[in-house]
Chain A
Amino acid sequence: MATRSTELKQDGAPLPLKASGISRNRYIANMRKHWMLYLMILPGILFYVVFKYVPLAGSVIAFQDYQIFKGIWGSPWVGLDNFGFIFTYQDFYNVLRNTAVIALYQLLFGFPAPILLALLFNEIRLMVAKRVVQSLFYLPHFLSWVVVGGIVFELLSSQGVVNAVRGWLGYEPILFMQEAGYFRTIVVLSSIWKEVGWGTIIYLAAIAGINPNLYEAAVMDGAGRWKQTIHITLPTMFPTILVLFLLQIGNFLELGFDQIFNLLTPMTYSVGDIIETYVYRAGVLQGQYSMTTAIGLFQSVIGFILLWIFNRLARKTDQGLW
């Protein structure tokens, strides 16, 4: 019974569970012994089968010319035509590039932002101040992108704050929202502003688990705040960071329609038209379910490949998702 902990203590490496090495008997024995674990997870598995996998089977419409009136059995099969159509679409390369570039920016800047913020929060000594500031940071999460989009447009308008500051400094106003060059920066900054406080909560929960004795011991050893952060706080957060990173990688090409849609103008199409905005035009407005499902599958496959690669890397630290 004590296997797990002893193994962990010894080297922290995963159990040598190679699929080939496990006989059927071993599974049955395991099931007998730990039947409660199997029982416990049963509702969860049923949930995933019923609400995720059964509807997911409907993805076959990506290989059909799905006609809603005829249904899935009545619609003709077209093989890979829908995928072919995507790749012959004139602007597809552009749309894909925009999506990937923004996704990369989000990963580079949006992902670390809540981690940094959590560390900054951690440096506030005054408990009341800490709580108040935290509570304020999480407010924008509750505003919809329609509202935030309106705020961004107003802020960057000719009468807005940013141009007012430029005016004081003697610069001409710039209409930022219609300049393609600023679009991606605006997207990344606005999503950091909106979600950073919310994203911090999870890291704060991780930090809350740290034993204060550890810090005290570090202080005895003469470590300053910086060293404490590097050697105690960050390592405790690491498993959470890694998991969140992997999950974001898995949905790499899904940027969220609402934000982009509310910030996009025709002047910024060249850098801001992404897969989701295209799907909206083609799918929602034209009802082409087969094609949009095909695009969705494409996004998912890319996401899965990326996740698979990174998960393999993560497993080297015994922290993979599976």
Chain B
Amino acid sequence: MKATFGEKVFQTLNYVFLIAAAATMLFPLVQLLAVSFSSPVAADSKEVFLLPVEFTTASWEHILKNQGLWTSFGITVYITVVGTLLSMLFSVMTAYPLSRREFLLRKPVMLGIVLTMIFNAPMIPFFLTVRELGMMNSLWALILPGLIGTFNMIIIRTFFMGIPGELDDSARMDGCSDFGILFRIYLPLSKPVVATVSLFYAVGYWNTFSRAVLFIRDPEKWPLQMKLRAYLQSPEELAAVNMFLGDFDFNTTTLKAATILFATIPIILVYPYLQKYFVKGSMLGSLKE
């Protein structure tokens, strides 16, 4: 197929625009990286642009040898993995009946669920409910109250509704139950959306913060984001560190940059990995004619 002249111009402009825009989006992280490797004076003077000024690894050394940060890292990884798996399981199980016409309660249940998206519970009753379930200081408080993300569940349902009915008819002929249809036919056909929603859940769990603030009192169980805030919020304490050590290789600004990156980079790396499902998932389309 031959591209017309107009299409060529469009292609070029498209590349230029997308690459330029992408550069602006990369920039802040590169700058944070540069700051985290710069001397405190240079960082505080806003001299750092794309490359470190007065290169030093002091901030990173300080962070990486911090046992507490690694504990939090472990907790975050744990709730991200367990939470995402559980969330996907229950979301899929909720979305499937809601996508089926033969499920007569579909509309009232859907309405009831959508309402919870619009009407938010006030904080105090929410807190008391979770507390009464005995989840104070338990990592379950970071998972169960958000087990099903309504938005995510509805996305899955939308995709399920787009799967043609002939498929499950033939499956039923082969003796598949609804569970069988869901797990053997629907899920494999929905790889792109499963990847997408898993990513949404994973990022959500990774960034768990406000619920942790409410329910986790024990610093040993703090997820990474809370540790991050601990750094961001107590500049005086950190300033005190070098005050006592007489050491000016790092300060709040550089530590902040390093901590933000430490808490962000792992989750950022998930997406490029998941991207392959956005291509291979095209199987679904082959049935859609």
Touch between chains A and B, by CB atoms below 8 Å: yes
B120, B196, B272: the one contacting A135 at CB < 8 Å is B272
B interface secondary structure, majority: helix
Q: Which of B7, B14, B121, B122: most chain A Cβ within 10 A?
A: B122
A36, A132, A148: the one contacting B177 at CB < 8 Å is A36
Is the Cβ of B101 less than 8 Å from the Cβ of A41?
A: no
A136–B111 alpha-carbon span in the complex (Å) = 37
Is the Cβ of B102 less than 8 Å from the Cβ of A37?
A: yes
> Is the CB of B117 closer than 8 A to any CB of chain A?
yes
> Is the CB of A27 closer than 8 A to any CB of chain B?
yes
Is the Cβ of A44 less than 8 Å from the Cβ of B148?
A: yes
Is the Cβ of B103 less than 8 Å from the Cβ of A296?
A: no
> Is the CB of B268 closer than 8 A to any CB of chain A?
yes
A90–B270 alpha-carbon span in the complex (Å) = 49
Is the Cβ of B271 less than 8 Å from the Cβ of A135?
A: yes
> Is the CB of A321 closer than 8 A to any CB of chain B?
yes
Is the Cβ of B120 less than 8 Å from the Cβ of A300?
A: yes
Decide: A250 near B118, CB < 8 A? Known: A143-B28, A321-B154. Answer: yes
Least distance between A205 CB and chain B CB atoms (Å): 4
A151–B46 alpha-carbon span in the complex (Å) = 12
> Is the CB of B278 closer than 8 A to any CB of chain A?
yes
Is the Cβ of B125 less than 8 Å from the Cβ of A55?
A: yes
Residue of A nearest to B152 (CB): A202
Please provide the chain B residues from 268 to 289 with a CB less than 8 Å away from any CB of chain A in the complex.
Answer: 268, 271-272, 275, 277-279, 281-282, 284-289
Residues of B within 8 A of A36 (CB): 177-179
Decide: A201 near B107, CB < 8 A? Known: A57-B125, A209-B192. Answer: no
Is the Cβ of B90 less than 8 Å from the Cβ of A47?
A: yes
Decide: A208 near B97, CB < 8 A? Known: A30-B102, A47-B147, A131-B275. Answer: no
A239–B169 alpha-carbon span in the complex (Å) = 23
Q: Interface size for chain B: under 10, 10 to 19, 20 to 34, or 35 or more residues? A: 35 or more
Least distance between B282 CB and chain A CB atoms (Å): 6
A2, A41, A219: the one contacting B93 at CB < 8 Å is A41
The segment from A3-11, A178-186, A262-270 that touches chain B is A3-11
B148, B151, B275, B281: the one contacting A48 at CB < 8 Å is B148
Is the Cβ of B192 less than 8 Å from the Cβ of A137?
A: no
Least distance between B281 CB and chain A CB atoms (Å): 5
Contact with A along B188-214 (1 / 0, CB 8 A): 000011011001000100000000000
Is the Cβ of B288 less than 8 Å from the Cβ of A48?
A: no
Least distance between B9 CB and chain A CB atoms (Å): 12
Residue of A nearest to B153 (CB): A44
Residues of A within 8 A of B246 (CB): none
Residues of A within 8 A of B165 (CB): 2, 4-6, 8-9
> Is the CB of A140 closer than 8 A to any CB of chain B?
yes
Least distance between B93 CB and chain A CB atoms (Å): 5
Residues of B within 8 A of A125 (CB): 11
Residue of B nearest to A322 (CB): B110
Decide: A52 near B26, CB < 8 A? Known: A30-B102, A240-B155. Answer: no
Q: Which of A193, A202, A292, A300: most chain B Cβ within 10 A?
A: A202
> Is the CB of B66 closer than 8 A to any CB of chain A?
no
Decide: A52 near B96, CB < 8 A? Known: A1-B172, A142-B267. Answer: no
> Is the CB of A285 closer than 8 A to any CB of chain B?
no
A3, A50, A72, A120: the one contacting B102 at CB < 8 Å is A3
Is the Cβ of A289 less than 8 Å from the Cβ of B196?
A: no
Q: Which of B114, B133, B260, B277: most chain A Cβ within 10 A?
A: B114
A208–B276 alpha-carbon span in the complex (Å) = 10
Q: Which of B90, B182, B232: most chain A Cβ within 10 A?
A: B90
Is the Cβ of A135 less than 8 Å from the Cβ of B275?
A: yes
Residue of A nearest to B120 (CB): A296
Q: Which of A34, A205, A240, A250: most chain B Cβ within 10 A?
A: A205
> Is the CB of A281 closer than 8 A to any CB of chain B?
no
Is the Cβ of B102 less than 8 Å from the Cβ of A142?
A: no
Decide: A205 near B158, CB < 8 A? Known: A27-B104, A34-B102, A120-B18. Answer: no
Contact with B along A9-45 (1 / 0, CB 8 A): 1000011010000100011001101101110110111
> Is the CB of A173 closer than 8 A to any CB of chain B?
no
Residue of B nearest to A214 (CB): B285
A-B contact pairs, 18 of them (CB 8 A): A14-B101, A15-B101, A22-B104, A30-B102, A41-B109, A48-B113, A56-B116, A58-B124, A58-B126, A133-B18, A142-B267, A197-B25, A205-B196, A208-B279, A209-B282, A211-B286, A304-B118, A321-B114
Q: Name B's A-contacting residues (CB within 8 A).
A: 1, 3-4, 7, 10-11, 14-15, 17-19, 21-26, 28-29, 90-91, 93-94, 96-98, 100-122, 124-126, 128-130, 133, 144-148, 151, 153-155, 158-159, 161-162, 164-166, 168-169, 172, 177-179, 182, 192-193, 195-196, 199, 203, 232, 260, 264, 267-268, 271-272, 275, 277-279, 281-282, 284-289
Of all A-B residue pairs in the complex, the 6 with the closest CB atoms, nearest first, are A58-B125, A5-B165, A211-B285, A44-B94, A55-B121, A322-B110
